[in-house]
Amino acid sequence: MPAILPVPRYAPDHFINRELSLIAFNRRVLAQAADERVPLLERLKFLCIVSSNLDEFFEVRIGGLREHIRLGARGVTSDGRSAQEALRLIAAEAHQLIAEQYSLLNDVILPLLEKEGIVFLRRGNWTEAQHEWVRDYFTRELMPVLTPIGLDPSHPFPRVLNKSLNFAVELEGRDAFGRSSRFAIVQAPRALPRVIKLPKELTGVDHGFIFLSSAMHQNVGDLFEGMNVLGCYQFRVTRNSDLFLDEEEVKNLRQALQGELPQRHYGDAVRLEVADNCSEQMADFLLQQFSLTRDDLYRAPGIVNLVRLMQVPDWVERPDLKYPPFVPQVPRTMEKRYDIFAMIRKQDQLLHHPFQSFKPVIDLVQQAVDDPDVVAIKMTVYRTGTDSVLMEALVRAAQKGKEVTVVVELMARFDEEANINWASRLEDAGAHVVYGVFGYKTHAKLLMVVRREQVDGVQRFRRFVHLGTGNYHPRTARFYTDFGLMTANEQIGEDVNEVFKQLTGLGHAGTLTHLWQAPFTLHSSVIAAIGQEAENARAGRKGRIIAKMNSLVEDETIEALYAASQAGVDIDLIVRGVCALRPGVPGLSENITVRSVVGRFLEHSRIYHFHADGEEKLYLASADWMERNFFRRIEVAFPVLDPKLKRRVMKEGLRPYLLDNSQSWEMEPDGRYRRRVSRAARHCAQDTLLAEYSRNGL
C-alpha cells in the first residue's frame, strides 16, 4: 500500500513539491540533449533518458498518488497540496516537458543526424524500392508473430502490457463471417525491433532507419483481408508498477514476490500515449478502456516510445559523434599481480568510480574465493545485474565450502526478477541467503571478508570490509559516480559485522562505534551534526556544511538546515535530483545554496561534510536525505578516517562540483533552476576528473 500523505509538521511554503522537483530534474537532463557542446549521438541518448525517467515517474510517483486518491486517503503533501491538486499541476508540467522533448527531437536532433548520414526515413518519402523492401520485411519478419484482435462480443478489449507498443485500427466493411467490427487491436511483441535498419544501397546513406510503426502503418491492411482500414494509431499505456505485499500475510517473501511480479504488467493505468494523428474517437475509446481522463492523454508527434532510440548510437560507428572513450584507471599499486589483503592491511584504500576501475572490488572477492585462509564472505546485494561476475564468484566460493552469506534485497524496484534468480543460484550452491528485514529495504552496500591470519605469532581472524555509496554492479560503475572504501579497521569491521548480525538474525541492535545506521541512528546523527554546526556558529565559531546526494526531501532535516542557516552556518548542497528545500529565502535560508550537476556520468555518490570546529568530519553513505532512507531502509554512512583520503574526497567529490560552471544548475527559491555560467574559464567537474585521472592516475 502506498504511503499515506501525512499532515505537514512545518509551514508548507518551506517546501518544494517533490514531483514537480522531479520534473525540473528531467528538464535539466533535456537541456543536455539541447546543449550543442554535447556530441550529437550523446544528445540523442539524453533525449531517450528523459523518456526512461518519465516512464518510472509515472509508474511509481503518479501511480502512488492515484492509488492514494483511489483509497480515499486524506492528507496533503509537504508543500500543502492535496493529491488531486498535485496531479493537476504535475500533468500540466509533464505535458509541457514532453512537448519540448518532441520539438527538440523533430526540429533539431533528427535534422542534425540527417546531415551526418543518419537518417530516419519518413513513410511519405519512401521510394518504390524502399516500399517493396519494407513490404517484404513485414511479410517475412512481422506478420508471422502478429495477432490482430477484432473487437466484438466474442473478442473483448485485450489485456495490454505495461509500456508495450500497440496499434489501434479503425475499420469498415465486413469480414468472412459477416462481422463488421469497427475497431481492432494489434499488439507488437516485445521481441520485435522498434527501429529497423535498411540496406545502404536502398537509402544512399550510411545509416538509414525506419520505425516499426511505419512498417505497420504501410501494411496493416494485410492483417484485415477485404476490409477497409480507416486509420492505424500507435498507443502505449503506462501502469502503476508498485508491488503490494501484506507483511502479516507473507510467509515466504521470495514465493510471494514471484507470485506478484507478473501482475506488475497489468496494474492500474496511469498514462495513455497515442500518436498525434490518432482520431478523437479512437482516443476517447482508449481512454474509456483504461479508465483515464483527458489529463492522462499524451499525444506524441512521432514514435510513442523514445526509449527505443537508445539503441541507435550503439549501431552507428561514429566516434566523432560520441563522448571520447576512456579507460577507468586502476591504482598504480594494483596494476600488476598483487595481494589485496596486504594492501588493505597496510592502509585504507579509496576508489572513485567511474574514474577508477571497479576491478579492485572484484579482485577482493575473487582473491577471497581462492585464498585458503579466507573462511567467510558476507555481502549485501541491491542491484548487481543479470550477469554479475561478483555473484558468480560467490557461487564458486560456496561450492568450495566457504561460509558465504548474501543478503539479497528482493524488493529492489525493477531488479526483483534478477535478484530472485541470483538468490536461487546461491542457495543451490550452498550459500546462506537471507532477504533482510521485511518492511525495510536493505540498501546498504557492504562486503566483508573474514580471513585467518598470524598476528604476533597468534592465529586470529581479521575482517576486511568494503563499503560503498553505489551498487555492486560492474556495468553501472562505469557510468555512475561513486566512492568505495576498503579497510581493515577493527572497529569498522566490528560495526559491519554487527549490521550483518541484524540482517541475518534476531535481537536488539548493538551500539556502533563509527557507522551511522538507518533506521536507528542515521537520521538522529545527521540532525545532531547539523545542530552542532548551528551551535558553533551561534558561539562565534565557524559553521560549515557541504553535502552531496541524489535527493533531499525529509522535512525535519530541511528544517534543521534552515535553522543552521539562520544561525550563520554556510551550507552548500549538491543535490542531483529532487530537492524540496528552498534556498536563498531571506530570513529562512539565505546561507544555503543548492546546485545540481547533470553531465556525462550520473552523479550518485553521497557525501556528508561537517566542519565540526576544525575536526572536519566526513562521511560517505548509501543514503539520501529522504524519509524512506532514514526510516524505511537499512543504510549506513561510514567515516573516512584517514586524513589523506579525507582530503581526496574533498578534492575530487566536493570542491570540483562547487566550482563547476559548465554542467551545474543553481536552484532559485521558487524551485526553478538557472544554469550556472561565468565569464571566468570554463570548469567542468567531470571533465576535470577525467583529465586528472588520465594524466596522473591519482
* Cα gap 360→477, rounded to integer Å: 12
The annotation status of 604 as a binding-site residue, yes or no, is yes
DSSP at 71: T
Give yes or no for a contact between 638 and 578, defined as CB atoms under 8 angstroms apart: no
443 is catalytic: yes
Give the separation between CA 218 and CA 22, rounded to whole angstroms. Answer: 39
Please give the helix or strand (H or E) that residue 169 lies within, else none: strand 166-172
Query: Per residue in 386-403, is it b (16+ CB within 10 Å) or e — as a string?
Result: eebebbebbbbbbeeebe
Inter-residue contact 545 to 566 (CB < 8 Å): no
Closest CA to 137 of 202, 231, 232: 202
How far is Cα 206 from Cα 678, in angstroms, rounded to an integer? 40
Choice among 352, 443, 466, 514 that is catalytic: 443
Residues in the chain: 698
Contact by Cβ (8 Å): 375, 452: yes
The reply, when asked if residue 576 is annotated as ligand binding, is yes
Largest CA distance in the chain: 93
The annotation status of 308 as a binding-site residue, yes or no, is no
Q: Using CA atoms, how far apart are residues 542 and 534, in angstroms rounded to an integer?
A: 9
**Torsion (CA) 359, 349, 653, 582 in degrees, nearest 10:** 100
Is 383 labeled as ligand-binding? yes
Q: Which residues contact 657 (CB under 8 A, 6 or more apart)?
A: 548, 574, 595, 597, 603, 664, 685
Q: Is 9 annotated as a binding residue?
A: no
- In terms of Cα–Cα distance, which of 150, 311, 119, 299 is closest to 220? 150
Indicate left, alpha or beta for 141 from its phi (over 0: left) and psi (-120 to 50: alpha): alpha
Residue 296, C-beta contacts closer than 8 angstroms, at least 6 positions apart: 91, 269, 270, 271, 272, 287
Q: Summarize the annotated binding site for ATP as residue ranges.
A: 53, 480, 576, 604
Which residues are known to be catalytic? 443
Q: Summarize the annotated binding site for Mg(2+) as residue ranges.
A: 383, 413
Q: Summarize the annotated binding site as residue ranges.
A: 53, 383, 413, 480, 576, 604
